Amino acid sequence: MAAVRETVETVGEVEKYKYGFFTDIESEKAPLGLTEDTVRFISAKKNEPAWLLEWRLAAFRRWLTMTEPTWAKVSYPPIDFQDAYYYSAPKQQAKLDSLDQVDPKLLETYEKLGIPLTEQKMLAGVAVDAVFDSVSVVTTFKEKLAEAGVIFCPMSEAVAKHPELVKKYLGSVVPTSDNFYATLNSAVFSEGSFVYIPEGVRCPMELSTYFRINEKQTGQFERTLIIAEKGSYVSYLEGCTAPQRDENQLHAAVVELVALDDAEIKYSTVQNWFPGDEEGKGGVYNFVTKRGDCRGANSKISWTQVETGSAITWKYPSCILRGDNSRGEFYSIAISNGRQQVDSGTKMIHLGRNTTSRIISKGISAGKSSNTYRGLVSVHRKAENVRNFTQCDSLLIGSKCSAHTVPYVETKNPSAVLEHEATTSKISDDQLFYCMQRGIGEEEAVALIVNGFCRDVLQQLPMEFAVEAQKLVGISLEGSVG
Amino acid sequence: MLEIRNLHVTVDGKEILKGIDLDVAAGEVHAIMGPNGSGKSTLSYVLAGREGYEVTEGSIRFNGKDLSEMGVDERAAAGIFLAFQYPLEIPGVTTMTFLKTALNAQRKARGEEELDAVRFLKLVREKAKPLNVNDDMLKRALNVGYSGGEKKRAEVLQMSLLEPALAVLDETDSGLDIDALKTVADGVNALRSPERSMIVITHYQRLLDYIVPDVVHVLSGGRIVKTGGKELALELEKSGYAGYGADAA
Ligand SMILES: Nc1ncnc2c1ncn2[C@@H]1O[C@H](COP(=O)(O)OP(=O)(O)OP(=O)(O)O)[C@@H](O)[C@H]1O
Ligand SMILES: [Mg+2]
């Protein structure tokens, strides 16, 4: 908590989109477009077993029958799914056993992103899996985790080494038929992280994945699966960046979390995909399906997200509260500036008895952006004594942006107690004047006030990422006043 | 230090200040008294450079520099401090964070080294103690849920931390109980120095018993209608503003 408070003053120092560089590295791609052959190509590249190819093909055939959802409050020209690459891998020698074998250019990229894949992170107690376009480059600290029995590896490796786990859990939270983008992901997913925490184990370090889209016209479709066995605990963080490009890049990820009895998963996201320029040119289309299943009694899943990037964000990290006494949490900061469009929120599906959930959403809109919170709290007929608390706060900066709150509630059990609070506020000229009278520059004053507004959520982030997130808040609001 | 010449100020198309002349030399404390609505706060806002307060005529010079070219934060870094009549609430931002952000922003603007967390904490505790501001209060969001008196003490704390060259205190005494008044006055007096000037806006002679001014002005209807020594305040206490053309409304 101390770090959260103490770092505000560095906010103004970081330049605009510092992640907007492109790494010139030779890559190997699937042919342009999407057919059954593309799916077969990807599966073959990954040396996948037949069952997984079949699984993909079934998803692909299903996808052909589906249409894109249109209910979200976002607008964009139709996406030509045939005009994209679905697989791109940096070309390098066969198999990597150590960091020394990784292409130095790649390592340089990660250095620029502030992710040294070296001992430094070890000291910080963070294990990192880095995904560059479609393949995982290296997973650090595997051995240390292995001692604890924790599996943390690229999805493709998990398919090869732990097929029984993958087979059992893949698609068990987000079925292949779930929605247009999740189905697309099921057909073409190329990488992602796999995490398995054995019974009773408290994961000895933060686990973290950094995703990076580098190649032009390349979609990124990662698939992450985290399984927390009985009585285990894990905290996982993902960070995302992409180079600055004129055309839109598609990102359709799926994240599945499974928490068994008494297990806890804390999943944090700092998403800073390229948001496009001021006129709305370029930027990432972020269509993501994230869902956690509190499958066991007394289990807990907590989502924390700081969403500052992407041209379009379509994302609803959800919890299925199946186990009795299980708990779901959603803490969100969604910042939109320029022409960004955000439609994000959560679903808390209460199936078990005495299940509780808590939703804290902070939406900040600036520029000409649109920011929508869309949330569902649903209580099943058999779910006795459900409790939910929802708080949605919107902060507007300037007069050309908009904020919307769309809360859905479905209660089939009268014992449920659901509380909902919502506020909308503006940064007042008086507040800005007051801060500036103390010598704080205008942009820093906005960042300070916004960080204050987001405080409840920032405090949920693991300490070392809270600092980064605070800076991001400041950077993403640059140019929003004056 | 401060030279105001024939200052006319318009707010929302309405002329509020109608030709102010005021000289405050280094080390001096000037008190400004006057009826409600006479333009006292307006004067303080104009000095701070608040948007919407348009100088239509006249000039303000501060240490020889024309203020009109300087932004709000630049004026602050140059040493102008305003203790607000109605301090603003900044939800979620602790007083500690706010103070550190402000101090380091000013230091940076002046090309000085920023203070790290340890040195800052030491400094702020040192400044907070005589004002009876404890750690608990420093950890709360700035002015949120503060009582009237706590807000005023927090303003004085900011002033003593930022050590401005010119401090304008806008009714810092109103809403204070007698003990708090003394605490605040002691805090202000501790800052009195030959290099520092102060403008103390107040309705009450009582404050001037503690913060003894060099000069007292009566502002009425947007003009300074009388200037005298500290005995002028006593006189006003007895007879009110009736004799000074209190036509502000
Ligand atoms: N935005 C505005 N539009 C029009 N008139 C304004 C505006 N702001 C202030 N005024 C007027 O300017 C006049 C001076 O206000 P100011 O706040 O400076 O008075 P004051 O001397 O500080 O009074 P008090 O003793 O009550 O604090 C008042 O008549 C007030 O109504
Ligand atoms: Mg006033």
Beta-carbon separation of A438 and B105 below 8 A: yes
Encode pLDDT of A40-93 as tens digits. Answer: 988 988 889 999 999 999 999 999 999 988 888 888 888 888 887 787 765 544
Ligand 1: does its nearest atom lie under 6 Å from the Cβ of B42?
Answer: yes
d(CA A217, CA A177) in angstroms, rounded, equals: 26
> How far does residue B217's CA lie from ligand 2's centre (Å)?
15
Predicted confidence band of residue A1 (pLDDT cuts 50, 70, 90): very low
- The number of residues making up chain B comes to 249
Nearest to A300 by CA among A394, A388, A360, A232: A232
Beta-carbon separation of B76 and A437 below 8 A: yes
User: Domains in chain B, ordered, with CATH?
Assistant: 2-244 (3.40.50.300)
> Vertex A252, ends A404 and A422: CA angle to 5°?
20
Greater confidence, A212 or A353? Answer: A353
Residues of A in contact with B82 (CB under 8 A): 437
C-beta separation of A289 from A179 below 8 A: yes
Kindly report the protein residue whose alpha carbon is nearest to atom 6 of ligand 1: B11
- Ligand 1 atom index nearest CA of B45: 18
C-beta separation of B17 from B46 below 8 A: yes
Average pLDDT over residues B226-237: 88
Q: Tell me how close the Cα of A397 comes to any Cα of chain B, in angstroms.
A: 15
Kindly report the protein residue whose alpha carbon is nearest to atom 27 of ligand 1: B36
Greater confidence, A399 or A187? Answer: A187
- Ligand 1 atom index nearest CA of B85: 27
Greatest CA separation for chain A: 67
pLDDT at B58 over 60: yes
Average pLDDT over residues A285-303: 95
Q: Which of A5, A8, A434 sits opposite B88 (nearest CB)?
A: A434
Ligand nearest to the CA of B38: 1
pLDDT at A204 over 80: yes
Greater confidence, A28 or A277? Answer: A277
Greater confidence, B83 or A104? Answer: B83
d(CA A117, CA A133) in angstroms, rounded, equals: 17
A482 contacts chain B (CB < 8 A): no
Encode pLDDT of A421-440 as tens digits. Answer: 999 998 889 999 999 999 99
pLDDT value of residue A463: 74
d(CA A80, CA A75) in angstroms, rounded, equals: 15
C-beta separation of A473 from A7 below 8 A: no
Average pLDDT, chain A: 82
Average pLDDT over residues B195-219: 93
Kindly report the protein residue whose alpha carbon is nearest to atom 16 of ligand 1: B39
Least reliable range by pLDDT among A232-241, B55-64, B218-227: A232-241
> How far does residue B246's CA lie from ligand 2's centre (Å)?
15
Q: Which residue of B has its CA nearest to A453?
A: B92
Nearest to A5 by CA among B178, B93, B44: B93
pLDDT value of residue B205: 87
C-beta separation of B227 from B217 below 8 A: yes
Encode pLDDT of A135-173 as tens digits. Answer: 554 455 677 788 899 998 889 889 999 999 999 999 999
> How far does residue B99's CA lie from ligand 2's centre (Å)?
24
Predicted confidence band of residue B137 (pLDDT cuts 50, 70, 90): very high
Beta-carbon separation of A439 and B105 below 8 A: yes
* 3-class SS of residue A194: strand
d(CA A114, CA A392) in angstroms, rounded, equals: 32
CA-CA-CA-CA torsion sign (A275, A277, A279, A284): negative
Greater confidence, B143 or A10? Answer: B143
For ligand 1, mutation pick of B9, B10, B11 (most atoms within 8 Å of CB): B11
Q: Which residue of B has its CA nearest to A429?
A: B51
Predicted confidence band of residue A446 (pLDDT cuts 50, 70, 90): very high
d(CA A291, CA A265) in angstroms, rounded, equals: 12
Q: Which residues contact B76 (CB under 8 A, 6 or more apart)?
A: A436, A437, A438, A439, B48, B106, B162, B164
Least reliable range by pLDDT among A212-221, B77-86, B108-117: A212-221
Ligand 1: does its nearest atom lie under 6 Å from the Cβ of B50?
Answer: no
pLDDT at A411 over 60: yes
pLDDT value of residue A281: 79
Encode pLDDT of B178-194 as tens digits. Answer: 888 999 999 999 999 99
pLDDT value of residue B239: 82
pLDDT value of residue B54: 94
pLDDT value of residue B241: 80
Beta-carbon separation of B100 and A433 below 8 A: no
Least reliable range by pLDDT among A239-248, A306-315, B168-177: A239-248
Kindly report the protein residue whose alpha carbon is nearest to atom 13 of ligand 1: B37
Beta-carbon separation of A433 and B50 below 8 A: yes
Encode pLDDT of A229-256 as tens digits. Answer: 999 999 998 876 555 556 677 888 999 9
- Ligand 1 atom index nearest CA of B52: 1
Predicted confidence band of residue B114 (pLDDT cuts 50, 70, 90): very high
pLDDT value of residue A244: 57
Say what the ipTM of the complex is. 0.95
Beta-carbon separation of A440 and B101 below 8 A: yes
Ligand 1: does its nearest atom lie under 6 Å from the Cβ of B40?
Answer: yes
Q: Tell me how close the Cα of A455 comes to any Cα of chain B, in angstroms.
A: 6
d(CA A405, CA B75) in angstroms, rounded, equals: 40
pLDDT at A17 over 90: no
d(CA A468, CA A134) in angstroms, rounded, equals: 25
